[in-house]
Structure 1
């Protein structure tokens, strides 16, 4: 067995720890056979064809996440944002590792930045209401012990209303964030399928 191939395969395996041992073993065998059949025996030739082990692992994981979302829609469900965030991460890394993926990578980054700015603005508005309201209520409490108690009651009552509105809006905002993550994941998967799916994860094309 060629030593360069075995070294490359071992390094690839170390970058695929997210997959279970069975899948890693299948991938090792697939790429070992690919390199042997293509007569790629030097490190230079191997990396010229497949890239470094780390870059190939990124492409495999991106392809894998696209394949899973295609065959198991539950992983792309809006109720499972952790799957969507993981998919976005791997697709971004996969696009970075593919020469033709750079324009798609930049598009996806622009989309992510756009939604991050929207979320930050939303959080800023809520914080901008929360902090001043708390300060006004704090200052209004002493008025309850003076002849201006009615003014104190007014400000405290208004503050309670503002707090109630914020806490009611909070869950809605959280659902909006989850929806944004789901939307970005769908865009990422759509872009990823243009250059990745079925090309690096052997099960992708078959499924």
Structure 2
């Protein structure tokens, strides 16, 4: 039996679920439509009291889908052919969606604000250390090349001194090829830890509250 309040709520919810594809949208909308009908929630006030405003519910749904995609390492995106840069952007988007979902709960707003501040500090420090690393990297390259030129310039004056300068320069430049991958791997590892933390937080948020979620274990 059709219900005006249910239809209006579902229609508004659909507007906020536009990031999902049509099939996913239909699954979510059908789930909540059946939930509202089975729970005999036939008035707008009763529906909002149970699920919250459509916009806030949509934030939780989008965060839920984003978490599941992240856990699956985005294997269903372009048949798994996704670049590291795209994966980074999607994980960053997941973090934003989880923060927005936290904002949907008045009780969790202070936590969300604290997390935003912590993230800002984290990324601020990250940018600082990356810039510092790039500066030191550039400096080491200049020193390495300079040492090689110094060695070449004195090659006819002192072969030993020339070999020392050239050898030192090559060692400095060679170390960069070892250090750069290690630093990049360390940055990725730290970011992966942040992603794992937010996935855990998102699950606690989505499945630890009264709002029913599609696919939730009862």
TM-fit CA distance, 1:145: 5.2
* 1:38 corresponds to 2:41: yes
Write out per-residue CA displacement over residues 61-110 of structure 1, whole angstroms, 9 at most, x where no aligned residue.
223445x37xx95449xxx8546444323222211212222233234334
Shift of 1:58: 0.9
Is 2:207 the partner of 1:204?
no
Q: Quick check: 1:112–1:184 contact (8 Å CA) kept in 2?
A: no
Matched, 1:120 2:127: yes
Tell me, which stretches of 5 or more residues in structure 2 are unaligned? 75-83
Q: 5+ residue gaps in structure 1?
A: none
Determine if contact 2:63/2:97 at 8 Å carries over to the other structure. yes
1:44-55 map, 5 Å = 47=48, 49-55=50-56
- Residue equivalent to 1:131: 138
CA distance in 2, matches of 1:158, 1:120: 30
- Measured against aligned partners, the alpha-carbon deviations of 1:35-55 in whole angstroms (never above 9, x if no partner) come to 4521224xx765565444332
- SS of equivalent residue, structure 1 residue 196: helix
SS at match of 1:204: coil
The question of whether the paired residues in 2 share the 8 Å contact of 1:64 and 1:204 is answered with no
Shift of 1:184: 1.2
Indicate the structure with greater helix content.
1
Distance 1:15 1:29, change over 3 A: same
Structure-2 change in CA distance of 1:165 and 1:46 (3 Å): same
CA distance in 2, matches of 1:148, 1:59: 73
Could you state the TM-score of these two structures normalised by the residue count of structure 1? Answer: 0.69
1:10-25 equivalence runs, <5 A: 10-25=11-26
Which residue of structure 2 lines up, in the alignment, with residue 190 of structure 1?
A: 200
Task: Determine the C-alpha separation between the residues in 1 that align with 2:5 and 2:189.
Answer: 46
Partner Cα distance (1:3, 1:91) in 2: 31
| Residue 168 in structure 1 maps to residue 183 in structure 2 | no
Distance in 2, matches of 1:10 and 1:152, equals 78
**Match of residue 87 from structure 1:** 94
Q: Which has the higher contact order (CA 8 A, sep 6+)?
A: 1
RMSD: 3.8
